[in-house]
Structure 1
Amino acid sequence: MNEQDDDRDGGCGAGCGCGTPGREQFVSISRPSDAPSTAGAGATDRHTIEQAVIPAGTFVMGDSSGDRNAGDGEVPLHEVTLGSFSIDATSVTNDDFARFVDATGYATEAETFGFSAVFHLALAAPEEDILGQPPGTPWWFGVKGADWRHPGGRNSSLAGLGDHPVVHVSWNDVQAYCDWAGRRLPTEAEWEYAARGGLDQKKYPWGDEEPDAGGTWRANIWQGGFPGTNTLEDGYLTTAPVRTFEPNGYGLWQPIGNVWEWCADWFDPNYYRASPAANPTGPIRGGSRILRGGSYLCHISYCNRYRNSARSQNTPDSSMGNAGFRTVSR
């Protein structure tokens, strides 16, 4: 497949408001050298999330809609062939992650660094806990005490959020979970193929209709004027339970919207030009890891990364209140 290589600017670059601010954008805090870790791969029965079995096949990877963002590398369009695999039907939830932490004593990087990124309307902490703000995206706060157990800061908790996706987990944290559970992160190609749900070259998991077509919302994204007013038409300011809205044709719930999902690959905006045709695994090195799917902060007025082909990135040690993960079988 061929496609012109120029990207249209959708209004935001890496680290945008709907995306994922890197840890370095706030303050420099050294990680303690004695952070707990897990050892070895765990048994697969530790991971109890329902699986969606994805058939082997070939699909067209990349943006077919023309709504790509400049610099993200969503083109050229190219055919990719994948073997069959199974993937979590939902994002990993707070309850799922709690079982891992209870079993291992693992401390996330947000906990060991002492802070994480919180969207300003989700803040639940005193003003003195705000450590910094990225100059280009002042609606993000670096918040002391924000972590997966305290998603808005120290005055928040997981009460009522057991079936919501875990957030404030870095790529390194989710690798630790995968090691314990006997799982792995999906490659970027696997993630996109599964998210499409069998609908090749479509914009969204359900087709080309916009998320609010027909007056019923199909994804947890922003409504209203970003970043100050969310009209909550879909019912959620931040995360939604993982089994909200309708699953796609392969049985995946909310592959777009709700939370960004970490993938295994390093990010390179030029990778598609040299990607192998079968089972690509991304560049062999890089400075940031791929995130896919968009989140509850995405809005078409300035950033439309809640599409099947949309890409984002962040450093492996970064964590924030709108990013989580799902896993695949090894």
Structure 2
Amino acid sequence: MTNVLKDVALFIAFIIFVSAALAKEQPKVWKDHHLHMEFVWIPGGCFQMSCIKGDKECYFDEKPSHEVCLKGFWMIRHEVTVKDWQRFAKETHYTPKEKDLWGGCEDIAKPTYPQKENHPVVCVSWKDARAFIQWLSKKTGFKFAWGDQISANMANFWSGTGGIAQKDKWRYTSPIKSFSPTPLGLYDMGGNVWEWCQGWYSAFYYKVSPRESPQGPERNKENETEIKFKVIRGGCWSDQPKRLRCSQRAFLDSHQAFGSVGFRLVREE
């Protein structure tokens, strides 16, 4: 099961024509019969990875622009829900080895604000998400990992299909599928909750990133002081649009849990 974490590529963005092409036909879908999660097939391809040219909100860690090529994979339509997490916690009697609860969290998977079963689970750390992934991988026989993908045609802020509501009827998280999906049929690729990513964060990784399926920076004893955070992407319910940009990256300690951070899954072919 260790390969679940180290062998899955750190997917970050996709070329625009992939979404445009698949929008004209029905996407290929796979359904997990244990949790009834639906996954959409994302074809591989190459793209220029960086912030959009002329973007005034671009941060230095979103540069330089460089070509990245990825293999195809399956991605869940929406973020992992409260109901999904409750099933996992009940079956495994999950208790984290450590709790580091921050803003908006009363306990693991229990925010200080109200949620229903169809809301994205929050207040889970990177390590909590890893435990969920390992459980689901063992249960289904497939390899899963975090969904690190986001692109201009997938984030609601840019796609024009769903939009980022400034005055919707939810003060905090919203139920999954509340807004229009991307052309590929994916929901909340921008907004609702930040999503944990598999890879470590390095502000300068784009300068040395390989072209083929980059895994993110490696962490070792020599650089553990610099590389000590995990990437989060996508923005959340409390963010301004600039935080929902497709190239925006943020980072947290892997043991921290916030009321604005959840996760999404991908599955290897």
Do these two structures clear the TM 0.5 threshold for a shared fold by scoring above it? yes
Deviation for aligned residue 1:242: 1.1
1:59 aligned onto 2:59: no
Match of 1:258 in 2: 192
- Trace 1:2-21 onto structure 2 (pairs within 5 A): none
Secondary structure of 2:132's counterpart equals helix
1:104 alignment counterpart:
92
State the shift of 1:49 in Å.
1.2
Moved over 6 A (4+): none
Partner of 1:267: 201
Question: 2:127 maps to which residue?
Answer: 172
Q: Which residue of 2 aligns with 1:146?
A: 107
Show the 5 A alignment for 1:1-330: 45-64=33-52, 65-71=54-60, 73-108=61-96, 112-113=98-99, 115-118=101-104, 145-148=106-109, 150-152=110-112, 158=115, 161-182=116-137, 183-186=143-146, 188=148, 191-193=149-151, 196-197=153-154, 204-205=155-156, 207=158, 218-219=163-164, 223=166, 233-285=167-219, 286-300=227-241, 304-330=242-268
Paired with 2:191 and 2:177, the residues of 1 have a C-alpha distance of 12
Match of 1:34 in 2: none
CA distance in structure 2 between the aligned counterparts of 1:257 and 1:81, rounded to whole angstroms: 26
- Give the partner amino acid of 1:50: E
Q: When the two structures are superposed, what TM-score results if normalisation uses the length of structure 1?
A: 0.62
Query: 3-state DSSP class of the match of 2:46?
Result: strand
Q: Which has the larger radius of gyration?
A: 1
Shift of 1:115: 3.8
Deviation of the 1:108 alpha carbon: 4.0
Give the Cα–Cα distance (whole angstroms) in 2 for the partners of residues 114 and 262 of structure 1.
15
Q: 1:76 to 1:47 in 2, by over 3 A?
A: farther
- 2:88, 2:64 → 1: CA distance? 39
Maintained 8 Å contact 2:156/2:164: no
Measure, in 1, the Cα distance between the counterparts of 2:244 and 2:158. 13
Question: Residues 205 and 308 of structure 1 are in contact (CA less than 8 Å); yes or no, is this contact kept in structure 2?
Answer: no
Instruction: State the Cα distance separating 1:46 from its structure 2 match.
Output: 3.6
CA positional deviation for 1:234:
1.8
CA distance in 2, matches of 1:255, 1:306: 9
TM-score, length of structure 2 as denominator length = 0.76
CA distance in 1, matches of 2:62, 2:37: 30
Deviation at 1:107, TM superposition (A): 2.0
- The AA in structure 1 aligned to 2:263 is F
Deviation of 1:205 after TM superposition, in Å, equals: 4.5
Sequence identity percentage: 30
- Which amino acid counterpart does residue 147 of structure 1 have in structure 2? I
Q: For residues 80-109 of structure 1, give each alpha carbon's deviation from its aligned partner in whole angstroms, at most 9, with x where no partner exists.
A: 111110011000000011110011011246
**1:116/1:146 CA distance change after superposition, 3 Å:** farther
Quote the offset at 1:243 in angstroms.
Answer: 0.6
Asked if the contact 2:75/2:265 (under 8 Å) is kept, the reply is: yes
Distance 1:175 1:328, change over 3 A: same
Query: Aligned partners of 1:311, 1:68: CA distance in 2, in Å?
Result: 12
C-alpha contact (below 8 Å) 2:157/2:164 kept by paired residues = no
Between the aligned partners of 2:200 and 2:206, the Cα distance in structure 1 is 12
Instruction: Confirm or deny: 8 A CA contact 2:192 2:235 kept in the other structure.
Output: yes
| In 2, Cα distance between equivalents of 1:206 and 1:113 | 33
- Cα distance between partner residues in 2 of 1:266 and 1:114: 19
